[in-house]
Amino acid sequence: AALKDALRSQVSAALKEGRVTPTELCQRCLALIKSTKFLNAYITVTEETALKQAEESEERYKRGQPLGILDGIPIAVKDNFNTAGIETTCASNMLKGYISPYNATVVQKLLDQGAVLLGKTNLDEFAMGSGSTDGVFGPVRNPWSYSKQYKEKSIPKSHSEDKEPDWVISGGSSGGSAAAVSSFTCFAALGSDTGGSTRNPAAHCGVVGLKPTYGLISRHGLIPLVNSMDVPGILTRCVDDAAVLLGSLAGHDPKDSTTIQDDFKPFELPNLTDVSKLSIGIPKEYHAPGLSSEILAFWSKAADLFKNAGAKVVEVSLPHTRYSIVCYHVLCTAEVASNMARFDGLEYGHRSDVKDSTESMYAATRREGFNDVVRGRILSGNYFLLKQNYEKYFVKAQKVRRLIASDFGKVFRSGVDILLTPTTLSDAAPYTEFIQEDNRTRSAQDDILTQAANMAGLPAINVPTALSERGLPVGLQFIGRSFQEKQLLTVAKWFEKQVQFPVIQLEEVKRHDSGVFQQQKSASFS
């Protein structure tokens, strides 16, 4: 089995038949992590425990009793999920050295099914950002920066003192997870999505990024950013794998009262061949200012693809789209101000040496522990929550949120099944260019296409579509109705099959994957 293989259809079979063992898979992934260290995708690599888990999995396969499809599968988890006995930092000084005393529900579920946890991935500090550039462990590099496809298109630098390619960002805030999946160091990774943090890096790194419906997957153990919008995100290399992960993670959790109580039935995705009964909506407001002509063209082509296959493709309107980013800005900072209040140095995390008074210790701890981005959002949030501003900003934003959510409701009630939009405004920017603007500006620009889905709580998925002129991945986003993940993923899988997104060609992976190579040229398996 190759590291490029799809979970359900190939790796799982290979493990069952003994063509590859969990320890082999684990060792290969760990070796690849080491040789792709320059990507900075991982904050913590849990080599010992991973190998132990792999050995236990191997025992189960030997007895013919694997726990399920995920048994023995190497996965990575974003470093804002609590993992028992393993450092959980949120890429912040505030939690450096913090060893979680418990597993987040989603982590526990994965471990209960025998998944092998390779490590914790890098992110923007406290998941605030759209580049994975603002964490204390440094930025994450997009693996495509080192791909044959990108290097071929790069203009060679005239001054050759700079031998490093101009590497591009991975997107964020779940950049580490996206980079890990994209560079084959794991088969799937957990991210989180509050404004697009799973879909954005998925688009830039050429992987599938699923944001499930709010309330479907437990947030217990996910260090919260915005309680009314956060969801755990799923990053995989193909849509089928995303469905597998979803199946293992979704469902009511008594420890998270915001999960719905309905029974969730895991599903296998049908191979859709007839799209004539489908109605695809193209929201015109998603032709946002700054959208690159390249992406506009891909979006157009995708719409035509559906039309030519017999689907009904209609232009629709989500009139409040342009206010969603403003609304998000207010609600997000307000909830952040509240959620970050727990970090005071007393019970966990960084604690300042200042000891004159409780308040001065708290203030010093927070000054030392948080970066500018976090502190900025806390202060903005507190401003919007001041008595004199509460109605004007916070409640106003909550009203606008209802308008945004009902925009979607109207469109779905009019007969549209799925919305098709771009995921990002352009392909990944070079790091040096990205950091020219501050985090808030960048987030406001980059989140524009993704965060309305968080406002309305809807499921959305990025599907890698094609390579840009610069040889970098471009993805398109599908947004579905609440709790209709099966329909959403079915359509996404059909689209994935049509576009045959190319596999990344990385030197490092070739070196580690010598062995049985599958004859697959594309990332879409069925």
Partner 1 sequence: QKVSVEVLDHLEHLALVDFRDSEGVERLQKAIQFADQLHEVNTDGVEPMDSVLEDRWCLYLREDDVTEGNCTKELLENARETVEEYFVAPPGNIPLLKLEEQNTYLQGS
Q: Which residues are catalytic?
A: 78, 173, 197
How far, in whole angstroms, is CA 332 from its chain's centroid?
18
Q: How far is the CB of 135 from partner 1 (least distance, A)?
A: 19
**Residue with smaller CB distance to partner 1, 254 or 415:** 254
| Nearer to partner 1 (CB atom), residue 10 or residue 82 | 82
Sites for partner 1 among residues 380-399 (CB under 8 A): 380, 382-384, 386, 392-393, 395-399
Name which position in 19, 62, 157, 367 contacts partner 1 (CB under 8 A).
Answer: 367
Please select the residue that binds partner 1; options are 20, 86, 225, 361, rule is CB under 8 A: 361
Of 254, 270, 310, 415, the one binding partner 1 (CB under 8 A) is: 254
Identify the bridge partners of residue 222 per DSSP, sorted by sequence position.
81
Q: Using CB under 8 A, pick the residue from 420, 444, 449, 461 that binds partner 1.
A: 444
What are residue 211's DSSP bridge partners?
460
The nearest distance, CB 72 to partner 1, in angstroms, is 29
Q: 463-485 burial by CB neighbour count: b if 16+ within 10 A, else e?
A: bbbbbbebbbbbbbbbbbbbbbb
Least distance (Å) from partner 1 to the CB of residue 99? 7
Would you call 39 exposed, middle or buried from its count of C-beta atoms within 10 A (0-12, 13-18, 19+)? Answer: buried
Three-point CA angle 86, 87, 92, nearest 5°: 160
Q: With binding defined as CB under 8 A, does residue 264 bind partner 1? A: no
Report which residue type is found at 430.
Answer: P
| Minimal distance, residue 184 CB to partner 1, in Å | 35
Q: What DSSP line would sit under 429-474, residue for residue?
A: PBHHHHTTS-HHHHHHHHGGGTHHHHHHT--EEEEEEEE-TTS-EE
Q: Which of residues 419-438 bind partner 1 (CB under 8 A)?
A: 438
Own/partner contacts of 145-153, CB < 8 Å, gap of 24 or more, are 146/506, 146/507, 146/508, 147/471, 147/504, 147/505, 147/506, 148/505, 148/506, 149/467, 149/471, 149/472, 149/502, 149/504, 149/505, 150/470, 150/471, 150/472, 151/471, 152/471, 153/469, 153/470, 153/471
Which residue, 59 or 359, is less far from partner 1 as judged by CB? 359
Residues 6+ away with beta carbon under 8 Å from 133 = 124, 139, 140, 169, 172, 431, 434, 435
Only one of the segments 38-46, 148-156, 361-369, 510-518 lies at the binding site for partner 1 (rule: CB under 8 A); that segment is 361-369
Among 16, 440, 486, 497, binds partner 1 (CB under 8 A): 440
357 lies in the binding site for partner 1 (CB under 8 A): yes
- Tell me, by CB under 8 A, how many residues bind partner 1: 68
Tell me which of 27, 34, 55, 98 binds partner 1, using CB under 8 A: 98
Please answer whether residues 91 and 126 qualify as being in contact, where contact means their C-beta atoms are separated by less than 8 angstroms. yes
Rounded to an integer, what distance in angstroms lies between the CA atom of residue 93 and that of residue 83? 18
* Nearest-approach distance from CB 265 to partner 1, in angstroms: 17
Q: Does 260 engage in binding with partner 1 (CB under 8 A)?
A: yes
Among 228, 279, 484, 498, contact with partner 1 (rule: CB under 8 A): 228
Residues numbered 325 to 354 that lie near partner 1 (CB under 8 A) are: 326-327, 329-330, 333, 337, 344-349, 351, 354
Rounded to whole angstroms, the maximal C-alpha distance in the chain is 72
Kindly state the smallest distance separating residue 198's Cβ from partner 1, in Å. 17
Give the H or E element holding residue 74: strand 74-78
Contact residues for partner 1 (CB under 8 A)? 98-99, 101, 214-215, 228, 254, 257-258, 260-261, 320, 323, 326-327, 329-330, 333, 337, 344-349, 351, 354-363, 366-367, 370, 372, 375-376, 378-380, 382-384, 386, 392-393, 395-403, 405, 438, 440, 444, 455-457, 482
